[in-house]
A and B are shown apart, each in its own frame.
Chain A
Amino acid sequence: MDVNVTLATYSNYLVYGAIAAYSIAMVGFALSLAAMRGRDLAPAVVAETADGAGSVAVATKPVTTLGGPDDGALPPGRRAGNIAMSLMWVGTLLLGGGVLLRGLSVGRVPWGNMYEFSISAALGVAVAFLVMSLRRDVRWLGIFVVIPVLFTLGSAITFLYTDAAQLVPALKSYWLVIHVLAAIVCAGAFCVGASVTVLFLVADAGERRALAGRPYRLDWLARRLPESYKLDATAYRIHAFMFPLWTFAVVAGAIWAENAWGRYWGWDPKETWAFITWVAYAAYLHARATAGWKGRKAAVIGLVAFGCFLFNYFGVNILLTGLHSYGGV
């Protein structure tokens, strides 16, 4: 099967278009965040401790920090946020088209090299964010999602770019398709989860210091975020939802490995880091149920786990060699 160069070129244009849309969205999110009236950090903490260490509180009601004084005639900050959300949708449609055309140009799923993985993963992040946005107002989160998306796309088109081409034989397997699809969805959601976790740490630090009356350098940011317990709950929910899928992704990879090399687990660097990532996320979930480890410590473990996930992608593919090194990194 030959490569359809025209489609591949159009795919590139769509990816560039998506980058443009996301860049403007980034500015919009930044403006909307800047225009937000921050909340008072201290009372949130008081309410939280009254609830009993903050863990009884519940948080499925939509986050409303963006509402309040902004109601009525749309002020500029809110309009910027709305435009940014629309551009997220536009960018994601363009990117989705780019991934689709890339696949069509080679007549297979577009997951054969790091360029293709990267644009797909960026798509995964954006989709995870948009799915969240359907259920609640997440404009406060927008900029912290669009920045990693732009980073991923930027590195993809600059130093990971690879011409469209056929696959090396080991990658031709439908278990691979399943495995990679699951991993890409996880990448997207874990990335959003990590952003929320970082924001939790910021809000948490802001609330603590406000309560103690001490200054905080990120105070301007903490004040614009939802209460820390809500962020914590959101981060947990994302991770809890994704961990079974990540487990499935690892198992699907093992089934593929069994088919390709005759053993389902061989401690190849990629497999080793998938294992490390899995254990790290399990440790995060465990920590959340362990006295003395909830909250900040668990959050840090969650971030370490995401670090392992990223390392498995960038570090292992580029630094360490193994059976998994793909054609055309």
Chain B
Amino acid sequence: MTDLRDDALPDSNDAYGLAPDDRAPDDRVGDVGGRVDGVADDGVRDDRVRDDGVRDDLAPDGDARRMSTAPAEVDASAAIGIGVLGWLRWAWRTLTSMRTALVLLFLLALASVPGSIFPQRGTNPIAVTQYIADDPSRGRFMDRLGLFDVFASPWFAAIYLLLFVSLAGCVLPRSLAHWRIVRSRPPAAPRHLTRLPEHRTLSSDATPQQVLDDAAEWLRKNRWRVDTERYDGARAGAVAAEKGYARETGNLVFHVALLVLLAAVGLGSLGGFRGTVILREGSSFANTRAQFDSFNPGKVFDDSSLPPFSFTLKKFTADYQRGGQQDGAAREFSADITLTRTPGAAPESQRVEVNEPLVVDGVKVFLVGHGYAPSITVKNPAGEVVFRDSVVFLPQDGNFSSTGVVKVPDSTPQLGLKGFFLPTAAVDDVRGPHSTFPAADDPAVFLSLWSGDLGLDNGRPQSVYKLDTTAMTRLGLEALRPGETWTLPDGLGTATFDGYLEWASFSVAHDPGKELALLASVVAITGLALSLLVRRRRVWVRVSNDGAGVTVVEIAGLTRSEHTTVTDEVDELTRHLAGRATSAATTPPGA
């Protein structure tokens, strides 16, 4: 039994072809009388969700005006004296109320603010360490409050979990209510149609039943859901119609999609992984945990799900703006690699660029950074090579002044070099040695020599970018151009700056929740658009006989108050009904 049976009818008005009496009798005619009485009593029908006085625009005809399943406002005093169960029910209703949702939304926004002001471990761990080091007691206190991990902190989680519990607790009952409403009939006409803001009156020479059938026909054709009460000769008959259920449906879909989105985010952070690796030109990476420089798996991530690909960085290319206000700004990065999809497979040439990640078996490889790796050779006094490698230096500024260290454990005494690499070297009195352009136009390296104990043997892990100088002494400093050799002080041998390689850093990541997150977002936007753009509206037509053979027709419409009208539709319907009558008198709109 559906009321939407006329969806397929053409929209034109001349589709009207049925004489009123030919129409199939409404299958609900039998209970019309009772319902009319019911309406006359209080305007509320039993098969619809009762309203608890939520909306402040509710008149006595409450049900006819209610067009949202929004939860009722909670009366704070309602729980007094109903015992534990009562309190629980009160607490649940408070949690799932609109007002609580609003407060929690506020809190969520507010709680995010510190996450943008203080450095966060997730995005900038070095800055966090620095921040704490600058003022340790305050820093540690802030750390305990979770201010450097806002989005993983318990209080942030508390807010969004409460919000989503509230959301679930609100949306599920609303969905059930809406489901029932969608399947039930439009609410019966309020007793006083002329009290509604949008109403017209019309007298017609058609019979009351003809007018009703005519109105129902027109409404159905225009895709309204229609419910009719046959004119029984004695009392008035009425047609009730409603349209725009998609508003509420869209709203519910939107809220449910938010729940799904949260689940998708959770899925991604539990089952995904993210790792970074730095590769110099010519070196290779195989996709196993040990080969990453850093690796962050989700809690239920399983190493065996890492696809077994490997790749070699053949060449990294960077291009920069030359001249002008943005001199030195990056314009183009690309990394040419040879990819082996599975062990033994034929290697293939690929290019990874910013915004154009490589995808292998659902895992994405992103180009995220780059820098220089000066090639250094150290020989001992006997002229034997004790160190030869290109060492990754980390960029310190936009012009790629880079720092790094060379550790030479195989010489006696052990040697360490602290280096400063400048792709386009310049020296001035104020800034000392610095780089003036990010490309390697005129590279130079500044090395300072330390000798003593590198501290590699005490079992503590050491950073490859730092020299532990507690047991070392500084012996000298030298600036080298490519190909130049420094004869080390104290006859310790030589150090040669052979040139440089470029390195690129890659981020390898898999997020199993991201497709679901995208889907949820698309559904959420669709639901939102429906919810905010569709108008929910109702119209009623009531006919009565004035006793002198003239049919009095009352037409009225109602809509969600916010921002819409049914004026046009009420006018159209009025015009249609007036046009059907051979003689009709219409009162002016709004009279």
Partners in one complex: yes
Task: Report yes or no: B353 in contact with A169, Cβ–Cβ below 8 A.
Answer: yes
Q: Is the CB of B105 within 8 A of A279?
A: yes
Alpha-carbon distance between A82 and B98 when the two chains are bound, in angstroms = 45
Chain B residues with CB under 8 A of A165: 321, 324-326, 329
Interface flags for B95-116 (1: CB within 8 Å of A; 0: not) read: 0001101100110110011011
What is the bound-complex CA distance between A262 and B357, given in angstroms? 8
Contact of A322 with B123 in the complex, beta carbons under 8 Å: yes
Contact between A168 and B57 (Cβ–Cβ < 8 Å)? no
How far in angstroms is the closest Cβ of chain A from B206?
A: 30
Most buried by B among A168, A247, A293: A168
- Given known pairs A53-B57, A165-B324, A275-B112, the reply for A260 and B355 (CB within 8 Å) is yes
On whether A168 and B331 interact (CB within 8 A), knowing A52-B59, A240-B563, A262-B366, the answer reads yes
Question: Is B68 among interface residues, defined by CB-CB distance under 8 A?
Answer: yes
Give the residues in chain A near B354, CB-CB below 8 Å.
169-170, 172, 260
Q: Identify the stretch in B183-191, B338-346, B511-519 within 8 Å (CB) of chain A at 4 or more residues.
A: B511-519
Closest-CB distance, A154 to chain B (whole angstroms): 20
Give a binary string over A279-293; 1 marks a CB under 8 Å from any B CB, 0 the rest.
110110111111111
CA distance A16 to B483 in the complex (A): 54
Q: Is B313 located at the chain interface by the 8 A CB criterion?
A: no
Across-interface contacts of A52 in B (CB, < 8 A): 56-57, 59
A264 to B511, CA, bound (A): 9
**Of A119-127, A143-151, A251-259, which binds chain B?**
A251-259
The distance in angstroms between the C-alpha atoms of A53 and B105, with both chains bound, is 26
A244 touches B528 (CB 8 A): yes
Q: With A168-B330, A267-B151, A272-B113 given, can you name 11 additional A-B contacts, CB distance below 8 Å?
A: A165-B321, A168-B329, A240-B532, A244-B533, A251-B518, A251-B522, A255-B518, A262-B357, A276-B109, A286-B101, A286-B102
A60 touching B116, Cβ below 8 Å: no
Q: Which residues of B contact A162 (CB under 8 A)?
A: 325-326
List residues of B (114-170) whose CB comes within 8 Å of A's CBs.
115-117, 120, 122-123, 150-151
A279 touches B109 (CB 8 A): yes
Interface 0/1 of A310-329, CB less than 8 Å to B:
00000010001011000110
Q: Are B326 and A267 in contact (CB under 8 A)?
A: no
Once the chains bind, are B330 and A264 in contact (CB under 8 Å)? no
Task: Report A-chain residues with C-beta under 8 Å of the C-beta of B108.
Answer: 279
Q: Would you give the shortest CB distance from B364 to chain A, in whole angstroms?
A: 6
Evaluate contact between A327 and B329: CB separation under 8 angstroms: yes
Choose from A55, A247, A280 the contact partner of B528 (Cβ within 8 Å): A247
Structural contact, B122 and A266, CB atoms closer than 8 A: yes
A10 adjacent to chain B (CB < 8 Å): no
* Residue B274 is within 8 A (CB to CB) of chain A in the complex: yes
Complex Cα distance, B532 from A285, in Å, reads 10
Residue of B nearest to A323 (CB): B123
Cβ distance A143 to chain B, nearest Cβ, rounded Å: 24
Q: Does B315 reach chain A (CB closer than 8 Å)? A: no
B553 to chain A minimum Cβ distance, whole angstroms, is 22
Q: Which residues of A contact B112 (CB under 8 A)?
A: 272, 275-276, 279
Query: Of A53, A244, A259, A265, which one neighbours B355 at CB under 8 angstroms?
Result: A259
Question: Taking each of B102, B108, B324, B508, which has the highest tally of chain A beta carbons within 10 Å of its own beta carbon?
Answer: B102
Q: What residues of chain A lie closer than 8 Å to B524, measured between beta carbons? A: 247
Report Cα–Cα, A61/B97, bound state, in Å.
35
Interface size class of B (residues with CB under 8 A): 35 or more
Q: What are some 27 contacts across the A-B interface (CB < 8 A)?
A: A57-B561, A58-B198, A58-B561, A60-B565, A162-B325, A162-B326, A165-B325, A169-B330, A169-B353, A173-B355, A233-B562, A233-B563, A236-B562, A247-B528, A254-B521, A262-B274, A262-B357, A262-B364, A267-B120, A273-B116, A283-B109, A286-B105, A291-B54, A320-B116, A320-B117, A327-B329, A327-B330
Interface residues on A, range: 35 or more
In the bound complex, do residue A56 and residue B355 qualify as a contact, i.e. CB atoms below 8 Å apart?
no
Alpha-carbon distance between A166 and B327 when the two chains are bound, in angstroms:
11
A172 to B332, CA, bound (A): 9
In the bound assembly, the distance between CA atoms of A328 and B565 in angstroms comes to 49
- Shortest C-beta distance, A222 to chain B (Å), equals 22
Whether A293 touches B565, Cβ cut-off 8 Å, given contacts A168-B331, A240-B532, A267-B122, is no
User: Smallest distance from the beta carbon of B285 to chain A beta carbons, Å?
Assistant: 15
Report A-chain residues with C-beta under 8 Å of the C-beta of B45: none
Smallest Cβ-Cβ distance to A242: which chain B residue: B532
Is A261 among interface residues, defined by CB-CB distance under 8 A? yes
Instruction: Write the chain B residue with the least CB distance to A289.
Output: B70
Contact of A258 (CB < 8 Å), options: B99, B514, B564: B514
Query: What is the 8 Å Cβ interface bit string for chain B, positions 294-337, against chain A (1 contact, 0 not)?
Result: 00000000000000000000000000010011100111110000
A268 interface hit (Cβ, 8 Å): yes
B492-520: which have CB < 8 Å to A?
507-509, 511, 514, 517-518
B477 at the interface (CB under 8 A from A): no
Interfacial chain A residues near B177, Cβ < 8 Å: none
Q: Which listed residue, B116, B198, B326, touches A328 by the CB 8 Å rule?
A: B326
Q: Which residues of B contact A288 (CB under 8 A)?
A: 562
A285 to B255, CA, bound (A): 13
Listed in ascending order, the chain A residues whose CB lies under 8 Å from chain B are 3, 51-53, 55-60, 162-163, 165-170, 172-173, 233, 236-237, 240-241, 243-244, 247-248, 251, 254-256, 258-269, 272-273, 275-276, 279-280, 282-283, 285-294, 308, 316, 320, 322-323, 327-328
Q: Which 5 A-B pairs have the closest CB atoms?
A: A169-B354, A262-B509, A272-B116, A269-B116, A240-B532
| Bound CA span A287–B103, Å | 10
Per the bound structure, the CA–CA distance linking A259 and B514 in Å amounts to 12
Whether a CB of chain A sits under 8 angstroms from the CB of B73 is yes
Closest Cβ of chain B to A275, distance in Å, is 6
- A165 vs B99: C-alpha distance when bound (angstroms): 49
Name A168's closest neighbour in chain B (CB-CB).
B330
Closest chain A residue to B250, Cβ basis: A244
Pair B109/A291 contact, Cβ less than 8 Å: no
How many Å from the CB of A106 to the closest CB on chain B?
11
Does A289 contact B98, Cβ atoms closer than 8 Å? yes
Report the minimal beta-carbon distance from A40 to chain B, rounded to whole angstroms: 21
B122 touches A163 (CB 8 A): no
A280 to B116, CA, bound (A): 16
- B197 interfacial by beta-carbon distance below 8 Å: yes
Within the assembled complex, what's the spacing in Å between the Cα atoms of A323 and B120? 13
When C-beta atoms are compared, the residue in chain A nearest to B163 turns out to be A279
Q: Given A162-B325, A168-B329, A168-B330, verify A261-B507 contact (CB < 8 Å).
A: yes
The answer to the question of B288 belonging to the interface, with a C-beta cut-off of 8 Å to chain A, is: no
- Which residues of chain A have C-beta atoms less than 8 A from B123's C-beta? 266-268, 322-323
The answer for the CA separation of A273 and B508 in the assembled complex, in Å, is 27
| Cβ-defined contact, A291 with B197, below 8 A | no
Question: In the assembled complex, how far is the CB of residue A15 from the closest CB belonging to chain B, in whole angstroms?
Answer: 17
Does B222 touch A at the CB level, under 8 Å?
no
CB atoms of B528 and A241 under 8 A apart: no
The chain A residue with its CB closest to the CB of B196 is: A56
Which residues of B have CB within 8 Å of A251?
518, 521-522, 525
Name the residue on B nearest A312 (C-beta): B116
Complex Cα distance A275/B106, Å?
12
B562 touches A262 (CB 8 A): no
Q: Which residues of A contact B532 (CB under 8 A)?
A: 240-241, 243-244, 285
Closest to A5 in B: B324
Which residues of chain A are near B120, meaning CB under 8 Å?
Answer: 267
Binary interface profile of B, 348-377, with partner A (CB < 8 Å = 1, else 0)?
A: 000001111100000010101000000000
Pairwise interchain contact B115-A272, C-beta atoms closer than 8 A: yes
Q: Does B567 interact with chain A (Cβ within 8 Å)?
A: yes
A contact residues around B514 at 8 Å (CB): 258, 264
Say yes or no: is B529 at the interface (Cβ < 8 Å to chain A): yes
Q: How far is the CA of A95 from the CA of B350 in the complex (A)?
A: 43
> Whole-angstrom distance between the alpha carbons of A74 and B506 in the complex?
69
CA distance A124 to B4 in the complex (A): 42
Q: Which chain A residues lie closer than 8 Å to B418 at the CB level? A: none
